[in-house]
Amino acid sequence: MTWLDDLTSRIAAAHGLDATSIGLVDGDAETLLDLAGIAAHTTGERTNAPLLCHVLGRARALGVPLEDLARTVRGAVEGT
């Protein structure tokens, strides 16, 4: 179990959540790290990386697929 898996389990247990409903699924980590990198490097502000991930997480909680969010972020950087 990785540090993140362990912490996810602890958060779920502490707040009465199902760990599988808040954990990362295959491919999400790579996508989120890529988008965080885009946020940090494009803006020159490293703090934008975790803040963007928070925004993405809230949008995901409202049902927007991560792939759609990734397209939006990449499109904003590319000017499309």
**What pLDDT sits at residue 79?**
87
Q: Is the pLDDT of residue 1 over 80?
A: no
Predicted confidence (pLDDT) per residue in 23-40, tens digit: 998 899 999 999 999 999
Among 65, 80, 77, 5, CA closest to 35: 77
Contact in structure between 46 and 40 (CB atoms under 8 Å): yes
